[in-house]
Amino acid sequence: MRKHVWLPAVVCLTLLCACEGVRYEIVLRPEGDVLYRKETPGHVAGSSSYTRFVTCMGTVSGYAERFRGNDDVAGTLQNIQQGVDQFADLILGWFKAELGDEPKFEELHKFCDQDLRQDMKNIAIYFWTAGAVSEHKMDRFVEVVVRVGQYLSERGYFTPEDLPTIISAFTYADSRGETERLMFLIQRFVAEKMGISAEQQIPASLAFLSDVEAAEESFKEYISGADEFKKLVRKWEDETKISRPAEEVDPLELLKSLLGDIAVEVVGFELWPAKATVKLASETQPFATNGDWDAKNSQVIWMKTIIKDSPFPAFCYAFWSVPNANFQTKHFGSVILDGEDLAGYVLWRKGLSKADAEEWDEFVSGLRAGEDVIPKLESFSFSADRDAVRKGKKPLGRSLADTPRQLILSQLKGKDQKTQQ
């Protein structure tokens, strides 16, 4: 790459992230127990459910849908940490093969096995968390990079004063292929972790880090016989379904593959995430939803960004109830249960045993508006409860009929109070 090519690259990346992905409109129309929809494209689909419960007092319906994403948060975090552990084990094994006989190697071993391993996990999870909640907005990405830099500085990986030297080392390596400055910084860092101060000379044992070629040869020699390498080869074979002798597998390519897998799990970056407008027709305004109610068109609307493998997938839900106005008016004088109250009633009614359900429905159907409805509701009890009392069993503190009784009576008594006023 030419000098300063990273600057226009960053600018281009910013512009790309500002571009919009494909937009979809997903229209949902419930009819009875079926939810009809315009076909949802397969690459944005996830999992959906639509449920409807019917009683003589009315119905309650529920819709929930996840678009794409990966709900296995624990599995993703486990994969990230396992990948980091594999990488840390390779680095630690390599250093041990080259420096294991050095008197001060134990200090480096402790740093790699504890501090470096833990810091890599923390940074990986930090990027993953930020990506999960920020929808990969560029301003948040820059903030995370700066925050990670602060994290590393706090833990002694570099100081702010070192930045010009570090940037210069990467710039020379990138623009001219001159890696000596970068390798010297790595050498000096490793020496520091072995307890060798900046004033002391770098020991000859660190010559394998003097240039890129020497480091590559050293790493290849180590990894070709390492157990970790054999495990990675088997994993690669399982994933690619291609069997190759270990000696034909390039260790550096396999290492890049490992780092690439970690990066995909951590960042999950998507330049052009899909945008979806979801519209759900509903007879009544939902009593619970994370969408916006469009009263003019009697529908709930969601505007969602759909990101592949996001641990917090785009999610829509709505719960609504529709009262049976004719039935309620006939037996109670008006519509007394709707919204969340009707939903509570319906769920209670659908949970009754067959015998209790038949007895309750017969009782409610026998009520007539204006004919002592309130006293009848207050005195109602299920025959199974009355039988238990006759048999000498101590009744429980609550009656099975308390839930609908309280819901209906609160509305009827409230209506009576308004009438008297």
Give a three-class secondary structure readout of the chain.
Answer: CCCCCHHHHHHHHHHHHHCCCCEEEEEEEEECCEEEECCCCCCCCCEEEEEEEEECCEEEEEEEEEECCCCCHHHHHHHHHHHHHHHHHHHHHHHHHHHCCCCCHHHHHHHHHHHHHHHHHHHHHHHHHHHHHHCCCHHHHHHHHHHHHHHHHHCCCCCHHHHHHHHHHHHHHHHHCCCHHHHHHHHHHHHHHCCCCCCCCCCHHHHHHCCHHHHHHHHHHHHCCCHHHHHHHHHHHHHHCCCCCHHHCCHHHHHHHHHHHHHHHHHCCCCCCEEEEEEEECCCCCCEECCEEECCCCEEEEEEEECCCCCCCEEEEEEEEEECHHHHHHHHCCCCCCHHHHHHHHHHHHCCCHHHHHHHHHHHHCCCCCCCHHHHHHHCCCHHHHHHHHCCCCCCCCCCCHHHHHHHHHHHHHHHHHHHC
- Give residue 292's pLDDT: 96
- Give residue 125's pLDDT: 85
Give 150-184 pLDDT, tens digit per residue: 999 999 998 888 888 888 888 888 888 888 999 99
pLDDT at 245 over 80: no
Q: Has residue 333 been placed in a domain?
A: no
Residues 245 and 141 reside in one and the same domain: yes
Residues 92 and 33 reside in one and the same domain: no
Residues 152 and 210 reside in one and the same domain: yes
- Give residue 57's pLDDT: 97
- Give residue 251's pLDDT: 64
Residues 153 and 167 reside in one and the same domain: yes
Q: Write out the residue range of the structural domain in which residue 393 sits.
A: 352-420
Q: Has residue 338 been placed in a domain?
A: no
The tally of domains found in the chain comes to: 3
Residues 185 and 288 reside in one and the same domain: no
Name the band, by pLDDT with cuts 50, 70 and 90, for residue 5. Answer: very low
Give the pLDDT mean for 71-91: 84
Residues 93 and 224 reside in one and the same domain: yes
- Give residue 274's pLDDT: 74
Mean pLDDT of the chain, nearest integer: 81
Q: Has residue 330 been placed in a domain?
A: no
Residues 61 and 189 reside in one and the same domain: no
More confident residue, 7 or 166: 166
Residues 118 and 192 reside in one and the same domain: yes
Residues 95 and 63 reside in one and the same domain: no
**Out of 133-147, 204-218, 241-255, which region has the weakest mean confidence (pLDDT)?**
241-255
Name the band, by pLDDT with cuts 50, 70 and 90, for residue 128. Answer: confident
